[in-house]
């Protein structure tokens, strides 16, 4: 009798992953168009901030629909948001860690060759798997570990761009670059798995958790806007360079962000990584048709590795999408016997 229900659950998970993949691919293609076609480039920091605001508003709207009445909606906000400073602080951790990750990634790119950066930054995929094992008490089979590292190699090849000779000499500090990339990789794995653990460790609504996280996200991104482009924004305006295409990109990023949280809630961060890899492949193929991008041998090989790794990871296995509570205690009792 449980089989039909399991099939529905599987179909829902596959649906969420497929939508997230398509949204991410569409966002990448649209972003590429806006950054190459618009004469007056907009400030990317303001776009990120607006994206966080829209995700917050969408989450509020979905929560209002979920609660069913204005009274229950107000009570939920009062209890979980306004009256829970500890929960707000707990959900501010991913936002702060992601901010550190982005800054470390930029620092690493400034001190490493682009090829070295591409290869080392993909270590965030196995790092996420390691954090999943350590923080959520899950186990991965040998075949799953092989598929994770195969995915890492595949994404690296898909995004590989041959180094071009240049006469400009850039002073770099490789030691600083590797240190920064290590911090960025650890931040990426930790923040994603931390958010997953918060989502799955209580019965609090996903949309309440999103509201808590996006509130802190808005504050973090506003600080980024001020520090990165404050002077220019004061001169040109917050919405400088915005077009209908830019707003479309922001919409895709907002809806894609909500679907990402759904994927993390009902699958896991490792599956999110596989979905993101598939989105990279799809967006590159779309770029071939729309922008005349040339497919290379490394891209074809990388795409093959990504597809094979997704197949291997998706083979029948123990369910890893829920936190295994009490698993450690049961093992200790077995040992004691």
44 contacts: CB under 8 Å, gap ≥ 6? none
Other C-beta atoms within 10 Å of 53: how many? 16
Segment 61-87, tens digit of pLDDT: 999 998 888 888 888 888 888 888 888
Average pLDDT over residues 130-146: 91
Both tokens of residue 93?
Answer: 């951790």
How many CA atoms are closer than 13 Å to the CA of 90, on its beta-carbon side?
17
pTM: predicted TM-score of the whole model, two decimal places: 0.78
Is residue 90 packed enough to be buried (19+ CB in 10 Å), middle (13-18) or exposed (0-12)? Answer: middle
Cα separation, 125 vs 269, whole angstroms:
9
Question: What pLDDT sits at residue 9?
Answer: 62
* Three-class DSSP labels, the chain: CHHHHHHHHHHHHHHHHHHHHHHHHHHHHHHHHHHHHCCCCCCHHHHHHHHHHHHHHHHHHHHHHHHCCHHHHHHHHHHHHHCCHHHHHHHHHHHHHHHHHHHHHHHHHHHCCHHHHHHHHCCHHHHHHHHHHHHHCCCCCHHHHHHHHHHHHHHHHHCCCCCCCCCCCCCCCHHHHHHHHHHHHHHHHHHHHHHHHHHHCCCCCHHHHHHHHHHHHHHHHHHHHHHHHHHHHHHHCCCCCCCHHHHHHHHHHHHHHHHHHHHHHHCCHHHHHHHHHHHHHHHHHHHHHHHCCCCCHHHHHHHHHHHHHHHHHCCCCCCCCCCCCCHHHHHHHHHHC
- Range from 100-114, 167-181, 230-244 that averages highest in pLDDT: 230-244
Residues for the chain: how many in total? 337
Asked if 80 and 87 count as a contact pair (C-beta separation under 8 A), the reply is: yes
Look at residue 174 in the predicted model and tell me its pLDDT. 82
Which pLDDT does position 126 carry in this prediction? 92
pLDDT at site 129? 92
**327 pLDDT above the threshold of 60:** no
Q: Answer with the residue of higher pLDDT: 279 or 315.
A: 279
């Amino acid at each position: 009798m449980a089989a039909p229900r399991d099939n529905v659950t599987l179909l829902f998970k596959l649906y969420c992953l497929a939508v997230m993949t398509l949204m991410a691919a569409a966002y990448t293609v649209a972003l590429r168009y806006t950054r190459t076609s618009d004469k007056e480039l907009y400030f990317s920091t303001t776009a990120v901030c607006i994206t966080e605001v829209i995700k917050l508003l969408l989450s509020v709207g979905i929560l209002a629909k979920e609660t069913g009445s204005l009274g229950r909606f107000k009570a939920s906000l009062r209890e979980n948001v306004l009256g829970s400073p500890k929960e707000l602080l707990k959900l501010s951790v991913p936002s702060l860690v992601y901010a550190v990750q982005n800054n470390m990634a930029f620092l690493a790119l400034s001190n490493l060759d682009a090829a070295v950066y591409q290869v080392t930054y993909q270590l965030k995929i196995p790092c996420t798997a390691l954090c999943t094992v350590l923080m959520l008490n899950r186990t991965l089979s040998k075949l799953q570990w092989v598929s994770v590292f195969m995915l890492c190699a595949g994404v690296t090849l898909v995004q590989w761009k041959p180094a071009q000779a240049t006469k400009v000499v850039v002073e770099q500090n490789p030691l600083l670059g590797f240190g920064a990339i290590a911090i960025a990789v650890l931040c990426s794995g930790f923040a994603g798995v931390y958010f997953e653990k918060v989502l799955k460790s209580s019965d609090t609504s996903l949309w309440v958790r999103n509201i808590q996280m996006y509130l802190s996200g808005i504050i973090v991104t506003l600080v980024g806007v001020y520090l990165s482009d404050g002077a220019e924004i004061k001169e040109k305006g917050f919405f400088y360079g915005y077009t209908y295409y830019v707003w479309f990109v922001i919409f895709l990023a907002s809806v894609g962000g909500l679907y990402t949280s759904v994927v993390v809630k009902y699958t896991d961060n490792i599956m999110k990584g596989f979905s993101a890899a598939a989105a990279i492949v799809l967006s590159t193929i779309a770029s071939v048709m729309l922008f005349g991008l040339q497919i290379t041998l490394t891209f074809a090989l990388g795409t093959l590795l990504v597809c094979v790794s997704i197949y291997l990871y998706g083979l029948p296995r123990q369910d890893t999408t829920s936190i295994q509570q009490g698993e450690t205690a049961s093992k200790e009792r077995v040992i004691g016997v």
